[in-house]
């Protein structure tokens, strides 16, 4: 057994059952080993940003790592932007990067670069294997590191000769540490600021925005009068009928300041302190009211569900305490033109039971949350790190993780272009992904951002840098070119019909929604 | 005048006349300043790898830097792979990366990362501006750094408030240093190893593979009997009728070892010592014969042309010394199927006068050099760093730099997929680029590489990771989706007809060549 086979068998034994790959020469033994070993599904992606974004989506839905397979420094570099998003989502990933054979590095061949320097920024764990006999135990360490709360990117750099040399046998993967329980004093401190008469917000993030956490938080809110909000961007949020209807901190600074203005205390549950996405002239970066106090109930690496349960007990709000009535499911709009409001209405009405929504809608999607509180129960995955180009890969990972569920990708056109090659992988794997492209043919967000930073008037050059017309991108043509059936819609009636057809398709579909 | 305007005016004054851009919020003032200032052409690219690859192509054809405009750490990350190639090509680039406002960084907002850590690996010069009054002088320093021989990537990180704050006026850009002259003793040492009876090779790279350097080298070779070879990958090589017909060090290790086996001395002129691209089991990394001696006539930062001219004088081979007769121009093949040989014949016959060839052909192109020695005079640009996904962007940069010349992009299908979004920019700017996609629907190079690393047999999983079929990518559909006219050819006659039509088009075209 060579090093590569010992590593692949170790990963498989440790529960890694998918490898999203874009291999090159230095990874050929790893590829051959994937052939030899049962239990790891290989998924080819035609660009490394698709690989890493798919691994993020897989991790969000399974809470365990997929492996990636990337080719040397530039291959890693192409994957970094979606590793940025994955790090912000705290997704566990075993990120495998091939490297020149150890004896070859010193010659500075054309593809040589300092892989560790490139990987450091987004890796919670990082190691270059140095020989074929220890590569399996390095792989076991990577799996544990990836699974260590709150979840992180474990990068294993694999010189080619550690793959082709004699392996040291399969390594056992230890059980990763579990989430730490929060000390009693923090529970009591939170209960203290939840006393009547105080204006307190529970700000939820990480695991607390899944079903159990939301339910507990809603019970606490109903009992104490505390407000409830989720972070602006969440890795995976449970939503729809039967789940508490909880809004997010708004993206726009003015709206966020207004939303948070009333609260004297913010209790953070897996959430970071609320800050604006960008800094703007004359605007504060911190979004809580001036003088408001922040309290941490549980951070992202701690057991947020346990902490919420204990807090609920302490304030006399056990689970199944009375929560607000569920939001109603929307009706379909009457036929008419498409805009963010009518699009939201169609989605709210038609979102199927148990859907996984991968949302990279940017400007078009700012009102999707209110419209979908009453939809059938679903999970909602967002762009956690703000690096656009995640949506298409994220949908791949979610669909590979959950083959029995419908994935709905809500996708801005400008953002889709960064990882458009991912459509091909959706076609090859025949994934149940319905992609809706919001075709506004511009970087619409930047028009608003220009005004927000104080730019008053734009000339031709600036307008050209924000627009995607001249020529308009034909998303139906692109989609078909990658092997995915597609159509274009211009009214809400057409959109609803195409959406229903897409749900019935036996594989991926794309709808270009003209707005 | 704000900081952004002072910077843009400084860049324009320093000769920077193009900005390849993929901006976001933090770059909005820079975008507005591009509006205010005459003399800098803004070119929007829909992915950052297109931005940096285009800047590389522009630099190779003009020997001066374009500016880039990238959005924060992930935007830079997406551009790194082609910065890797640009660094290996020694292309001057003023690489501008927007950053959060200085007061906002401490809050670790979602798009925050350590940009300097990401930029360090490929930047010869790196600075974060700290205030709006000094940003213009930082920009001037970046231009000089980019132009400092042998040419490098100068990364200027631009916090948003240094762009919107009050500027300090336009800064003058000093004259960059010129290339150092080589000491006489190195010229004499080279002449010594060129004496009769020694088996000596002139290995040419960097500036020595342009017209003047090649001519001088050919004179020296004709006078002394020395062999002549160019490096395997060259940033820009002058070729075709009237230029010496010089081959390259072969990519395949066995062929390279055989080619170099006879030489006792290698004189490096702007070239690196010859090493294999990858390390293989049981193969040497160094390609020269065992015991052969390496001599540096001039390194890449030195004046290679001057050194060659002085060497030519010393060995009695002034320019216009007798050189070999030019290679004949190929005839078109009779009609028949398409394979690497017949494709090479079509290109050899039809390459137009003064064309710029951007070659990312990978396996399909290994025989293009012999077939084009006798073509009309042209420049040939290669993949210098081995990071695939350069071809389409490189063609953009070359076409923007040289609007009166025809750009021919020879493009492997797998590699094209990494930066396919670049086709849209070719359409928007109506660039005179004729792209030939070698559609073999596989990572063909990896089949050979698998054998080279010793992998004997492949199962279904491994075969799937090397093939691009299931589904086949429809390049005609993709190209049209991006606004570029396209056709598909299956015989050499069809290819020749389509190639001629493409040369007559008033803008970009694409030919999907089925092989």
Is there a domain that residue B176 lies in?
Answer: no
Q: Decide if A78 touches B, using CB distance below 8 A.
A: yes
Residues A235 and A282 in one domain: yes
3-state secondary structure of A191: helix
pLDDT digits (tens, 9 = 90+) for A23-52: 998 899 999 999 889 899 999 999 999 999
**Residue B488 clears pLDDT 90, i.e. is over it:** yes
Beta carbons of A121 and B117 less than 8 Å apart? yes
Q: What angle do CA B51, B55, B56 make, to 5 degrees?
A: 120
| Residues 287-326 (A) with a CB less than 8 A from some CB of B | none
Window A:445-484, CB contacts with B under 8 Å:
445-446, 449-450, 452-455, 458-462, 464-466, 468, 470-478, 480-483
The answer on B98 and B203 residing in a single domain is no
Does residue A505 have a pLDDT over 70?
Answer: yes
Question: Are B473 and A455 a contacting pair at CB < 8 A?
Answer: no
CA distance A152 to B109: 18
- Average confidence score pLDDT of chain B: 95
B142 shares a domain with B13: yes
- The two tokens of residue B369 are 């050099």
pLDDT in tens, A145-165: 999 999 999 999 999 999 999
User: pTM for this structure?
Assistant: 0.98
Provide the pLDDT for residue A323.
60
Q: Is residue B319 part of a domain?
A: no
Shared domain check, B354 and B227: no
Decide if B321 is inside a domain.
Answer: no
Among B502, B431, B440, which Cα is nearest to B466's? B440
Q: pLDDT at position A321, please?
A: 61
Tell whether the model's pLDDT for residue B379 goes beyond 90.
yes
Based on the fold, state whether residues A486 and A344 are members of the same structural domain.
yes
Residue A141: inside a domain: yes
The verdict on A147 and A193 lying in the same domain is: no
B94 and B222 fall within a common domain: no
> Residue A80 falls within a domain, yes or no?
yes
- End residue of a domain, out of B97, B132, B164: B164
Q: Does B261 lie at the interface with A, CB-CB under 8 angstroms?
A: no
Query: b or e along A170-193 (b: 16 or more beta carbons within 10 Å of the residue's beta carbon)?
Result: bbebeebeebeebeeebbeebbeb
Residue B327 lies in a domain: no
- For residue B454, is pLDDT > 80? no
- Region B242-253: what's the mean pLDDT? 94
Measured between beta carbons, which residues in chain B are less than 8 angstroms from residue A478? 477-478, 481-482
Choose the weakest-confidence range: A15-24, B32-41, B319-328, B461-470: B319-328
Let me know if residue B292 belongs to a domain.
yes
**Are residue A159 and residue A189 in the same domain, yes or no?**
no
- Is pLDDT of A378 > 80? yes
Token reading at B143: 């231009």
pLDDT digits (tens, 9 = 90+) for A107-160: 999 999 999 999 999 999 999 999 999 999 999 999 999 999 999 999 999 999
Domain that holds residue B202: 184-314
Most confident of A241-250, A363-372, B83-92: B83-92
Chain B residues with CB-CB distance to A20 below 8 A: none
pLDDT tens, residue by residue, B290-327: 999 999 999 999 999 999 999 999 999 876 666 666 77
Q: Is pLDDT above 70 for B380? A: yes
- pLDDT number for residue B453: 73
Residues A378 and A475 grouped into a single domain: yes
Q: Which of A3, A28, A121, A164 to probe the B interface (max B CBs under 10 A)?
A: A28
Residue A347 confidence (pLDDT): 97
What is the interface pTM, i.e. ipTM, of the complex?
A: 0.97
Instruction: State how many domains chain B has.
Output: 3
Predicted confidence at residue B362, as pLDDT, reads: 87
CB contact under 8 A, B35 and A460: yes
Given the structure tokens 């040291």, which residue do they identify? A168
So what's the pLDDT on residue A454? 74
Same domain, A368 and A451: yes
* CATH number (domain holding residue B235): 3.40.50.1220
- Looking at the complex, does the CB of residue A30 fall below 8 Å from at least one CB of chain B? no
For range A347-367, the mean pLDDT: 94
pLDDT in tens, B102-145: 999 999 999 999 999 999 999 999 999 999 999 999 999 999 99
A347 lies in the same domain as A478:
yes
User: Averaged over A393-405, what is the pLDDT?
Assistant: 98
Residue numbers in A near B461 (CB within 8 A) = 31, 34-35, 42
What pLDDT band is residue B444 in, cutting at 50, 70 and 90? confident
Same domain, A188 and A160: no
On whether the CB atoms of residues A393 and A82 are closer than 8 A, the answer is yes
Query: Has residue A442 been placed in a domain?
Result: yes
Beta bridge partners of A437: A411, A512
Give pLDDT tens digits for A252-274.
999 999 999 999 999 999 999 99
**Average pLDDT for chain A:** 95
Tell me if B94 sits within 8 A of B121, measured CB to CB.
Answer: no
Provide CB contacts within 8 A for B77, sequence distance 6+.
A77, A80, A81, A84, B48, B118
CATH number at residue B486: 3.40.50.970
């Amino acid at each position: 057994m060579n090093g590569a086979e010992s590593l692949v068998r170790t990963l498989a034994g440790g529960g890694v059952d998918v490898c999203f790959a874009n291999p090159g020469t230095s990874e050929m033994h790893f590829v051959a080993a994937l052939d030899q070993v049962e239990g790891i599904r290989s998924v080819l992606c035609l660009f490394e940003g698709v690989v890493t974004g798919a691994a993020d989506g897989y991790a969000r839905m399974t809470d365990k790592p997929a492996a990636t397979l990337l080719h040397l420094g530039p291959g890693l570099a192409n994957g970094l932007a979606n590793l940025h998003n994955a790090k912000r989502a705290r997704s566990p990933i075993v990120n495998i990067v091939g490297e020149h054979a150890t004896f070859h590095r010193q010659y500075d061949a054309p593809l040589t670069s300092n892989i560790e320097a490139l990987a450091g920024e987004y890796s919670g764990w990082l190691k270059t294997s140095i020989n074929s006999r220890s590569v399996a135990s390095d792989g076991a360490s990577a799996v544990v590191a990836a699974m260590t709360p709150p979840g992180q990117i474990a990068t294993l750099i694999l010189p080619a000769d550690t793959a082709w040399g004699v392996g040291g046998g399969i390594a056992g993967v230890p059980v990763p540490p579990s989430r730490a329980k929060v000390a009693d004093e923090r529970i009591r401190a939170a209960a203290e600021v939840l006393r009547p008469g105080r204006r307190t917000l529970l700000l939820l993030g990480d695991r607390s925005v899944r079903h159990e956490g939301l339910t507990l938080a809603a019970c606490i809110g109903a009992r104490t009068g505390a407000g409830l909000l989720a972070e602006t961007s969440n890795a995976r949020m449970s939503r729809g009928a039967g789940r508490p209807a909880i809004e997010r901190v708004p993206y726009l600074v003015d709206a966020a300041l207004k939303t948070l203005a009333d609260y004297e205390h913010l209790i953070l549950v897996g959430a970071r302190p609320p800050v604006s996405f960008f800094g703007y002239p004359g605007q504060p970066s911190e979004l809580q009211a001036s003088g408001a106090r922040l309290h941490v109930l549980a951070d992202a690496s701690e057991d947020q569900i346990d902490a919420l349960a204990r807090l609920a007990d302490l304030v006399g709000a056990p689970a199944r305490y009375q929560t607000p009535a569920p939001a109603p499911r929307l009706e379909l709009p009457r036929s008419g033109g498409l805009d963010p409001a009518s699009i939201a209405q169609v989605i709210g009405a038609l979102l199927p039971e148990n859907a996984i929504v991968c949302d990279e809608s940017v400007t078009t999607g700012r009102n999707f949350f209110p419209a979908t509180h009453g939809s059938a129960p679903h999970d909602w995955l967002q762009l956690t790190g703000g690096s656009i180009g995640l949506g298409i890969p994220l949908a791949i990972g979610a669909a590979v993780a959950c083959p029995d569920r419908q994935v709905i990708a809500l996708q801005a056109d400008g953002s889709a272009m960064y990882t458009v090659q991912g459509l091909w992988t959706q076609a090859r794997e025949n994934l149940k992904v319905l992609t809706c492209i919001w075709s506004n043919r511009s970087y619409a967000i930047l028009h608003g951002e220009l005004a927000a930073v104080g730019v008053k008037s734009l000339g031709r050059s600036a307008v050209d840098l924000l627009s995607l017309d001249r020529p308009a991108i034909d998303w139906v043509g692109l989609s078909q070119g990658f092997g995915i059936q597609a159509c274009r819609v211009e009214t809400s009636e057409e959109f609803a019909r195409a959406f229903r057809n897409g749900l019935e398709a036996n594989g991926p579909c794309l709808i270009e929604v003209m707005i």
